[in-house]
Amino acid sequence: MFDFHKILGYFYNDLAIDLGTANIVIIRDDKIIVEEPSIISFDDNGRILAVGNEALLMNGKTHKNINVVKPLKDGVIADFKAAGQMIDAFIKGARNDHFLPFKSFLNNVVIGVPSGITDVERRAVKDFADSLGASNTYTIYEPVASIIGAGIDVFDCNASMIVDIGGGTTEIAIIILGGMVCYKSIKVAGNQFTHDIINYLQRNYGVLVGENTAENIKKNTNVVDCDQLEEMEGISICGRDTLSGIPKEVCISYDDVASALNDSICLVETAILDTLKVAPPEISSDLNKNGIILSGGGSLLRNLDKRIEEKTKLKVRISDDPLRGVARGIGKVIKNMNLYKGILMR
């Protein structure tokens, strides 16, 4: 017997999209169909050369006839045209991977946006979704999506606090009864951490490295505080000597990386404390009981949870799937549109 709804599902898709500054995640029917870096490359005639991981390999290594573009900045669309071409290429690739021989129609599209987004930026996101051909487009605040992705009942009368450290922004919010009672969005997150490492190496070692190398250093060391870690060997990196211009190899320690990131981590801690200061006193007991949930790629920095615990005196736990927390949350929303309609924005 034919499953009519399943057949319709091949033609009419609902997509959950996490338009991350560093990575984009697209979910359809609870399955991740796209998880790639948010980057695209063009030739000098404007033709697409590569998207995602393939384009990332070109970053910092191109000549004048190749242009590598990161269409998203600080959690919002900076290059509307490039973003549309990138998403279109991702969706086409996903359709081919799933052996669908025809182009399906987009029904509902839900996109996560930073809590500090402006009306103009929100309109750009909506226009972008409309350009994909979606019948209905919605946005949802990323902290709310993160809470849902962490398995918390967003409509509960007990408050929950989320700190989502993404690529472009860190989203901090206290959520209760389906809304954000207080929130803060700062442009200090993964990309800033990467540039912190670049600047530190240039200042202290006289060596200049590119974004990809600095990103690898961050991921391989993955540390913000060495006090509770055993002594570990340093790591060798190669960059350009700032004086001679010739390639230079240096060995850096985990302490170097922690020092490089310290100022930015302090800004994140300050933003968390600022959010707690403006929280209604009636929800203090909820926060004391429920603590803080960390999400996003930045939450994977070792000992960051312990640093925040020390600063706030609250329990801190990392969500089960921090890298995909926003996307998973949006995926749950799009499967239960009637339940979550009240927290979506058109």
273 vs 308: CA distance, rounded Å: 10
The DSSP line for 314-345 is S-EEE-SSGGGHHHHHHHHHHHSHHHHGGG-B
- Name the band, by pLDDT with cuts 50, 70 and 90, for residue 227: low
Domains of the chain: 4-147+325-343 (3.30.420.40), 152-319 (3.30.420.40)
Q: In this model, does residue 284 exceed pLDDT 50?
A: yes
Residue 165 tokens read as 């450290």
Query: Which DSSP helix (H) or strand (E) runs through 18?
Result: strand 12-19
What pLDDT score does 11 carry?
47
The set of residues, in sequence order, having a beta carbon less than 8 Å from that of 168 and lying 6+ positions away, is: 20, 21, 22, 72, 73, 74, 75, 76, 114, 187, 189, 190, 191
Distance (Å, whole) CA 184 – CA 177: 18
Asked if residue 102 has pLDDT above 50, the reply is no
The overall average pLDDT reported for the chain is 87
- Residue 203 CA to residue 63 CA, distance in Å, equals 27
CA-CA distance, 174 to 287, in Å (whole number)? 9
Q: Is 140 left (phi over 0), alpha (psi -120 to 50) or beta?
A: beta
Bigger pLDDT: 300 or 104? 300
The token pair at 324 is: 């995909």
User: What is the pLDDT, as a whole number, of residue 95?
Assistant: 60
Give the C-alpha separation, 104 to 87, whole Å: 15
What number is the average pLDDT over the span 52-62?
91
Main-chain dihedrals φ then ψ at residue 29, nearest 5 degrees: 55, 45
Alpha helices in 62-109 (DSSP H): 80-97
Rounded Cα distance between 12 and 104, Å, is 6
Least confident of 16-25, 99-108, 159-168, 305-314: 99-108
Q: How confident is the model at residue 39 (pLDDT cuts 50, 70, 90)?
A: very high
pLDDT recorded at residue 107: 80
User: How sure is the predictor about 99, in pLDDT bands with cuts at 50, 70 and 90?
Assistant: very low
pLDDT value, residue 29:
84
User: Cα dist. 72→67, 211, 267 in Å?
Assistant: 15, 16, 22
Mind listing the pLDDT tens digit for each residue in 185-223?
Answer: 999 999 999 999 999 999 999 999 999 999 999 988 877
CB-CB neighbours of 279 under 10 Å: 17
